[in-house]
Amino acid sequence: MITTRSASACGQADFGWLQARYSFSFGHYFDPGLMGYASLRVLNQEVLAPGAAFQPRTYPQVDVLNIVLQGEAEYRDSEGNSISASEGEVLLLSAQPGVNYTEINLSKEHPLTRMQLWLAACPERENSRMQKMALPAGRVSQLIASPDGVDGSLQLRQQVWIHQVELAPGEHYALRLKGPRAYLQSIHGSLEAGSGAEHREKLGCGDGAFLQDEQQLLLTAKTATRALVIDIPV
C-alpha cells in the first residue's frame, strides 16, 4: 500500500531568517497522527537566510542527517568539534546526550537549503560523532546511509537504509525493499511510484509517500527527478 502526502499538506514556517516545511510534527507544527514513521522521526526541508544560524540546541537520541541542496553550512558542538558541508554533500551527526549543536549558514550573500532527517538511534551503538560524504554526479542510485556503512555510505545507529535516486525524464528505477515499511520523498521533480505496473501514485515536487507491506518500489520520472527512499524494515 502506498499513501501519498502532498507538500501542501505539510507544516509550514516562515520566521524571516528561516523558512521550513515539516513532513511530521516539529516545533510549533503538531499533528498527533504524524509523529514520525517508525524510526524516522523528522523530515524537514529548511532554508536559512544568508549568515543565519540556529542557536545551540540539544537533540534526543537520534542520528541527524543533513543533505545540503544549496549553499554551505558549518556544524559545531559544545565539545569543540566542527565540520562543514556544501552543496552535493551529506553530513551525519551522531547526537550525544548533553551536547549542544549549532548550525550556521557560512555565506553572507546566499541562502542555505537542506533536507534534515532525524532517525531514532540505538543507545548501545557508538559511531563517529560527525561523518560526511559527497554525492557523485551522474549516479541513478546512491546509498547515502546504512547500518554498516556499506559501499562508502554513512553509518547509522539504526536498521535503516537511505537511498538517493536521480532520474531523467522517462527513466525508470526499481528498488527491492528490505522490510514492511519505507518512506519516499521527492526533493524535486514529478514522478510515479508503485510496486508494479498496475497501481501507480503520482508525486510532485516536495511530495512524500508512506509505503506499507511492499516488496519493491518502482519509480518513473515524469520530469528530471531527485528523490529519497528511506527503507525502514523494523
For 222, the domain range is: 2-232
Assess whether pLDDT exceeds 90 at residue 125.
no
Q: Are 222 and 177 in contact (CB under 8 A)?
A: no
pTM of the model: 0.95
Give residue 220's identity as a one-letter amino acid code. T
Strand positions, DSSP E, 23-88: 40-48, 62-70, 72-77, 82-86
For 88-103, write each residue's pLDDT tens digit.
999 999 999 999 999 9
Q: What is the mean pLDDT of residues 22-47?
A: 94
- What pLDDT is recorded for position 42? 97
Helix (H, G, I), strand (E, B) or coil at 88: coil
- The total domain count for the chain is 1
Q: Provide the percentage of residues in the chain whose pLDDT is more than 70.
A: 99
- What pLDDT is recorded for position 197? 61
- What pLDDT is recorded for position 138? 83
Neighbouring residues of 150: CB distance < 8 A, sequence distance ≥ 6: 143
Question: For residue 67, what is the domain's CATH number?
Answer: 2.60.120.10
Assess whether pLDDT exceeds 70 at residue 116.
yes
Assess whether pLDDT exceeds 80 at residue 184.
yes
